[in-house]
C-alpha cells in the first residue's frame, strides 16, 4: 500500500493551489463518501484525501468504500491516505452490527470468507497517525493516559498487530489510547474515566497543551466521536484539538451533519454536509438535480441554513504557520531591537500603536523583504478594537526556545521510566524489589543505575549518571527537583536514598504526581495525604507497610472499596478524637471519586506507585506555596528546560555564527561534538564578542547550559544537534 512501513507517516504542507481534505468516521456509509467526492472532487495530486479511520463496521457498504479508496491509491499514488481506527480491528469486526460491529459479516456475505482474513492483515499495516507539515498530528482517537509521550516513541511503536484489549505494557497503553481515547469536553485537566468504559479515558486540556509543546506541534486532529451538538466537527481545548466526524445522519437515526476539514493556504476550514441517500445521488447524476441537492445538503449551499438550522459559511477552525510565516517570525526575532526603534520613530503620538500600513512600512524598512506584510498580518499580529497594532505586544509575542524534547531530555526519559513502571501495574512487593534488591529500605546509587539499565531506554552510561542526580543522589537542591531538599545519605561509603522518598521524587520529576481535576479536588487529595501520613506516623509504619495493611485481600493492590473503607475509617477516628479537626465530612461516594483520581493507570485498582503519587502531589503543592507565584502543581514543577530562559536562548540563537565558529575551533576532526569543557569555553568566547544590543550571559548561566546538555557514550556534547534544536515559538498560540 506504500504506507505500511511506519506507525506514523509524515505528509507535506499542501502546496500552493493544492489542498488536503481530512475525512472522519464513515462507518460503511457509502453515500457520505460519494457525496464528498462529488462535492469536493475526486482524489488527485492537488486534491489529497486523508481518511482518519473507522471506515469499517456499523454501515452496510464498508467493503465498497475500502475498494474505492484502494482503487484511488493505485490509480494515483499519493492522492489518498488511510489511517487505522479502533474499528479496523478483528475483535470488533466480528461483533454483530447492532453491537457496533458487522464488518466481518458484511465481507462474508458478499465474498469468500478468506477475504476477511486479508482485510484483517491489511488493517495491521495501516499507520496509526500522520504528522502534516510538522504542525498537526492526525490520529483516530486521542492522547494518552501517560504524560511525556513523544513523536519519536509513536514512530517506534509496534503497530502490526491487533489493538490490545487489555493493555499490559506502556506501549500497549499508547496503542490502546491512541485509538480509543476522547478529549475532555469541558477542558478539564488530567486524565478521567470515559463513559465508554472498558478502561477508556478522557484526556484533559493540559495533556493536549503539554503534548503539543513538547513535540513542537500546533494542532491535534482526531475523529472517533460524534460531536454532541449535531455538528460534524467540534473544536476543543482552546482550539488545539479538533474532532471531525463524516458520517451524516449517523446510523440513520442521529440526524447529525457530517463534516470534512479542508486544509488550504495555511488555513483549515470545516465544511459540513448531509449526504443525500444513494438513490437520490444516482438520480441527480443522471439528470439535472445535482445543483438542487447541493443547495440543500451542503454548508456552502444557499438553502443549507434553512434546511438544517446551521450557519452556511464554512468557519475557519485553525490557522497554521507555513514555511514563509515561520521565516518571518524568525526575522522579527533576530531584528527585534531594530524594529522597536523603527516602530517608535513611526509612532509620533507615542501611543504604542500603529496602523497596519505603518506597521508594514516599519517591517519593510528594517527587514527589506519583497513581500506583502499586510497579507501576513493575520498570522503575525492581532488587531486591537480600533483595528491597529499594539507593536510592543507584537515584538514580545515571539520568543526563542530550545525544543523541549532536547532541553528536557532528562524529564522525557524519566517519564518513560515512570510510565513503563506504571503500565506494568506491579504488585507492591515486585515494585519494591525492582529498586531495592537487598531489601534494606534504601536505593543505592548502584541499584538506581541498574533499574535504569533494566528497562533498556537506550541511554549511555554518561546519560544514566546525569539522570540519577535528578532522583535524589545529589547533595544540593536543584531546579530538576523543584527546590526540594536533598535526599542522599551515605551507607557503607555509597550514596543511598530512602526507597519511599526515591519513588516520590521519581513521580515528581517525571511530572506524574496525581493530577486533580479541580482546585477543590486538589485540596481534598492533600487532606487525605495528610491523614494517611498521620496514621502511618502514629502507628509507626512506613507508607509501604500501611499500604499492605490496607490491602485486605493481599493481592498487592488496593482496590477502590479498600481505599474507600480505610479513608472512611480514618475520618471516623479523627472525628471521634476531635470533631473540630475536620472542616468537612466526606461521603463514601466522594472517597470513591478520589480513589478513581489516585488510580493513575486507570486499571480499576490502585498500585503502590500511584499511591505514592498522592503524596508527591501534596509535596509539589508545598513547593508551589513556597514560591513567589500561585501556580498549579503541574505548571509549577521545574524541569531541565527551565534553565534555558528566554534571555539565554535568544542570545545563543541570535549569535549562532559566533558560537559555531568557536565550537569548530575545538573540533579539529569535525566530528560535530566537543567536550563539556570546550562547550563552556566556546560559550565564553561568544560571550566576549557579543554586539552591544545583547546582555552577556553570566558564568552561572553558562554552567547551567553546559551541565544540562545530554552527553553521548564518550561523554561529549553533539553541538550540531544543540544548535539545530532552537526554535521560535509564538506565545499567543500557546496561551
| DSSP bridge partners of 191 | 203
Do 62 and 96 lie in one domain? The reply is yes
Nearest of 85, 107, 82, 83 to residue 97 by alpha carbon: 107
Nearest of 617, 635, 638 to residue 521 by alpha carbon: 617
The answer to whether residue 2 sits within a structural domain is no
pLDDT of res. 484: 45
Find the largest Cα–Cα distance for the chain.
Answer: 91
Query: Hey, what's the cell of 662?
Result: 568557536
Do 226 and 91 lie in one domain? The reply is yes
Do 328 and 427 lie in one domain? The reply is no
Q: What is the CATH number of the domain that holds 244?
A: 3.60.21.10
Do 610 and 551 lie in one domain? The reply is yes
Do 155 and 175 lie in one domain? The reply is yes
Instruction: Tell me how far apart the alpha carbons of residues 722 and 686 are, in angstroms, rounded to a whole number.
Output: 15
Nearest of 153, 157, 129, 151 to residue 142 by alpha carbon: 129
Edge-to-edge strands, sheet with 201-203: 182-183, 201-203, 191-193
pLDDT of res. 625: 45
Could you write out the DSSP letters of every residue in 6-30?
Answer: -SEEEEPPPPTT-EEEEE-B-TT-H
Alpha helices (H) along 455-587: 461-468, 499-509, 519-539, 543-550, 560-577
Residue 448 in this model has a pLDDT that exceeds 50: yes
Matching residue, cell 457525496? 35
pLDDT confidence bin for 511, thresholds 50/70/90: low
Residue 341 in this model has a pLDDT that exceeds 80: yes
Query: Hey, what's the cell of 423?
Result: 503500565
pLDDT confidence bin for 360, thresholds 50/70/90: very high
pLDDT of res. 735: 61
Residue 181 in this model has a pLDDT that exceeds 80: yes
pLDDT of res. 357: 95
Do 29 and 108 lie in one domain? The reply is yes
Nearest of 410, 436, 297, 454 to residue 641 by alpha carbon: 410
Burial class (CB in 10 A: 0-12, 13-18, 19+), 584: exposed
Instruction: Tell me how far apart the alpha carbons of residues 133 and 263 are, in angstroms, rounded to a whole number.
Output: 11
pLDDT in tens, 278-291: 988 888 887 767 77
Residue 193 in this model has a pLDDT that exceeds 90: no
Q: Which residue has the higher pLDDT, 616 or 377?
A: 377
Give the domain extent around 47: 8-319
Q: Are 414 and 593 in contact (CB under 8 A)?
A: no
Q: Are 50 and 130 in contact (CB under 8 A)?
A: yes
Q: Which of 269, 292, 319 is a domain's end point?
A: 319
165 sits in the region (left: phi over 0; alpha: psi -120 to 50; else beta) called alpha
pLDDT in tens, 95-108: 999 999 999 999 99
Residue 126 in this model has a pLDDT that exceeds 60: yes
Do 586 and 543 lie in one domain? The reply is yes
pLDDT in tens, 313-334: 567 777 777 778 888 999 999 8
E strand or H helix that includes residue 299: none
Q: Are 43 and 49 in contact (CB under 8 A)?
A: yes
Q: What is the CATH number of the domain that holds 382?
A: 1.10.238.10
In terms of residues, how long is the chain? 735
Query: Hey, what's the cell of 299?
Result: 454548508
Q: Which residue has the higher pLDDT, 526 or 290?
A: 526
Instruction: Tell me how far apart the alpha carbons of residues 93 and 562 are, in angstroms, rounded to a whole number.
Output: 38
Q: Which of 295, 319, 343 is a domain's end point?
A: 319
Phi, psi (5° rounding) for residue 51?
A: -90, 120
Do 364 and 303 lie in one domain? The reply is no
Q: Are 40 and 65 in contact (CB under 8 A)?
A: no
Q: Which of 623, 640, 657 is a domain's end point?
A: 640
Matching residue, cell 519519536? 152
> Domain count of the chain?
4
Mean pLDDT of 601-623: 72
Residue 375 in this model has a pLDDT that exceeds 80: yes
Q: Are 216 and 403 in contact (CB under 8 A)?
A: yes
E strand or H helix that includes residue 717: strand 717-718
Do 73 and 158 lie in one domain? The reply is yes
- Predicted TM-score (pTM) of the model is 0.76
Who contacts 600 (Cβ-Cβ below 8 Å, separation ≥6)? 145, 191, 422, 512, 514, 609, 610, 613
Residue 583 in this model has a pLDDT that exceeds 90: no
Do 427 and 506 lie in one domain? The reply is yes
* Residues labelled as active-site residues: 87
Q: Are 365 and 339 in contact (CB under 8 A)?
A: no
Distances (CA, A) of 411 to 150, 637, 707: 12, 11, 14
Residue 515 in this model has a pLDDT that exceeds 70: no
Q: Are 55 and 88 in contact (CB under 8 A)?
A: yes
Do 636 and 673 lie in one domain? The reply is no
| DSSP bridge partners of 220 | 137, 241
Do 696 and 593 lie in one domain? The reply is no
Q: Are 275 and 29 in contact (CB under 8 A)?
A: yes
Instruction: Tell me how far apart the alpha carbons of residues 230 and 252 are, in angstroms, rounded to a whole number.
Output: 13
The answer to whether residue 3 sits within a structural domain is no
Amino acid at each position: 500500500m506504500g504506507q505500511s512501513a511506519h506507525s506514523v507517516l509524515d505528509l507535506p504542507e499542501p502546496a500552493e493551489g493544492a489542498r488536503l481534505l481530512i475525512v472522519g468516521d464513515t462507518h460503511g456509509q457509502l453515500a457520505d463518501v460519494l457525496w464528498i467526492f462529488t462535492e469536493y472532487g475526486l482524489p488527485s495530486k492537488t486534491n489529497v484525501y486523508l481518511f482518519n479511520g473507522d471506515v469499517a463496521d456499523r454501515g452496510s457498504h464498508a467493503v465498497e468504500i475500502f475498494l474505492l479508496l484502494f482503487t484511488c491509491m493505485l490509480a494515483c499514488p499519493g492522492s489518498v491516505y488511510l489511517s487505522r481506527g479502533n474499528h479496523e480491528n478483528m475483535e470488533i469486526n466480528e461483533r454483530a452490527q447492532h453491537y457496533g460491529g458487522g464488518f466481518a459479516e458484511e465481507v462474508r456475505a458478499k465474498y469468500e470468507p478468506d477475504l476477511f482474513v486479508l482485510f484483517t492483515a491489511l488493517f495491521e499495516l495501516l499507520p496509526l497517525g500522520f504528522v502534516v507539515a510538522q504542525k498537526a498530528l492526525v490520529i483516530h482517537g486521542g492522547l494518552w493516559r501517560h504524560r511525556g509521550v513523544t513523536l519519536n516513541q509513536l514512530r517506534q511503536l509496534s503497530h502490526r498487530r491487533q489493538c490490545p484489549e487489555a493493555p499490559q505494557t506502556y506501549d500497549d497503553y499508547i496503542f490502546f489510547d491512541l485509538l480509543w481515547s476522547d478529549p475532555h469536553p469541558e477542558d478539564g485537566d488530567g486524565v478521567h474515566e470515559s463513559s465508554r468504559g472498558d478502561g477508556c479515558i478522557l484526556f484533559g486540556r493540559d495533556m493536549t497543551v503539554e503534548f503539543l509543546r513538547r513535540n513542537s506541534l500546533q494542532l491535534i486532529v482526531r475523529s472517533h466521536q460524534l460531536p454532541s451538538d449535531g455538528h460534524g466537527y467540534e473544536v476543543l481545548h482552546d482550539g488545539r484539538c479538533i474532532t471531525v466526524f463524516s458520517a451524516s445522519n449517523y446510523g440513520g437515526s442521529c440526524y447529525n451533519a457530517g463534516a470534512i476539514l479542508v486544509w488550504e493556504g495555511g488555513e483549515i476550514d470545516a465544511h459540513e454536509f448531509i449526504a443525500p441517500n444513494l438513490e437520490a445521488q444516482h438520480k441527480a447524476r443522471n439528470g439535472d438535480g445535482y445543483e438542487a441537492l447541493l443547495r440543500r445538503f451542503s454548508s456552502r449551499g444557499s438553502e443549507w441554513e434553512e434546511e438544517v438550522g446551521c450557519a452556511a459559511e464554512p468557519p475557519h477552525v485553525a490557522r497554521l504557520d507555513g514555511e514563509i510565516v515561520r521565516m518571518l517570525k524568525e526575522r522579527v526575532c533576530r531584528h527585534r531591537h531594530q524594529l522597536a526603534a523603527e516602530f517608535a520613530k513611526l509612532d509620533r503620538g507615542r501611543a504604542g500603536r500603529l496602523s497596519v500600513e505603518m506597521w508594514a512600512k516599519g517591517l519593510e524598512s528594517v527587514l527589506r523583504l519583497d513581500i506583502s506584510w499586510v497579507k501576513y498580518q493575520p498570522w503575525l499580529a492581532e488587531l486591537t478594537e480600533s483595528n491597529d497594532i499594539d507593536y510592543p505586544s507584537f515584538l514580545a509575542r515571539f520568543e526563542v526556545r530550545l525544543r523541549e524534547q532536547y532541553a528536557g531530555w532528562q524529564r522525557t526519559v524519566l517519564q518513560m521510566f515512570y510510565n513503563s513502571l506504571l503500565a506494568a501495574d506491579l504488585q507492591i512487593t515486585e515494585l519494591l524489589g525492582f529498586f531495592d534488591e537487598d531489601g534494606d529500605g534504601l536505593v543505592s546509587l548502584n541499584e538506581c543505575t541498574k533499574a535504569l539499565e533494566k528497562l533498556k531506554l537506550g541511554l549511555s552510561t554518561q546519560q544514566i549518571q546525569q539522570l540519577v542526580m535528578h532522583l535524589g543522589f545529589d547533595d544540593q537542591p536543584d531546579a530538576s527537583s523543584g527546590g526540594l531538599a536533598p535526599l542522599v545519605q551515605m551507607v557503607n561509603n555509597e550514596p543511598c536514598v530512602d526507597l519511599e522518598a526515591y519513588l516520590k521524587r521519581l513521580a515528581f520529576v517525571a511530572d506524574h504526581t496525581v493530577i486533580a481535576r479541580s482546585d477543590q479536588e486538589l485540596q481534598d487529595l492533600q487532606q487525605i495525604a495528610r491523614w494517611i501520613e498521620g496514621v502511618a506516623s502514629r502507628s509507626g509504619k512506613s507508607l509501604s507497610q500501611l499500604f499492605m495493611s490496607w490491602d485486605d485481600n493481599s493481592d498487592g493492590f488496593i482496590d477502590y472499596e479498600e481505599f474507600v473503607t480505610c479513608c472512611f475509617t480514618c475520618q471516623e477516628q479523627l472525628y471521634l478524637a476531635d470533631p473540630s479537626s475536620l472542616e468537612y465530612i466526606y461521603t463514601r461516594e466522594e472517597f470513591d471519586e478520589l480513589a478513581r483520581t489516585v488510580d493513575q493507570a486507570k486499571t480499576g485498582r490502585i498500585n503502590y506507585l500511584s499511591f505514592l503519587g498522592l503524596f508527591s502531589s501534596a509535596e509539589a503543592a508545598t513547593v508551589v506555596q513556597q514560591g513567589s507565584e500561585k501556580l498549579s502543581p503541574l505548571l509549577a514543577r521545574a524541569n531541565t528546560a527551565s534553565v534555558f530562559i528566554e534571555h539565554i536562548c535568544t542570545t545563543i540563537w541570535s549569535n549562532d555564527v559566533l558560537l559555531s565558529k568557536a565550537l569548530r575551533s575545538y573540533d579539529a576532526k569535525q566530528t560535530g561534538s566537543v567536550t563539556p569543557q570546550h562547550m563552556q569555553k566556546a560559550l565564553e568566547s561568544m560571550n566576549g564578542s557579543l554586539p552591544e544590543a545583547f546582555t552577556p550571559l553570566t558564568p552561572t548561566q553558562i554552567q547551567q547550559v553546559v551541565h544540562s546538555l545530554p552527553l553521548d557514550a564518550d561523554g561529549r556534547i553533539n553541538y550540531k544537534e544543540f544548535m539545530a534544536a532552537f526554535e521560535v515559538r509564538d506565545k499567543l498560540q500557546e496561551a
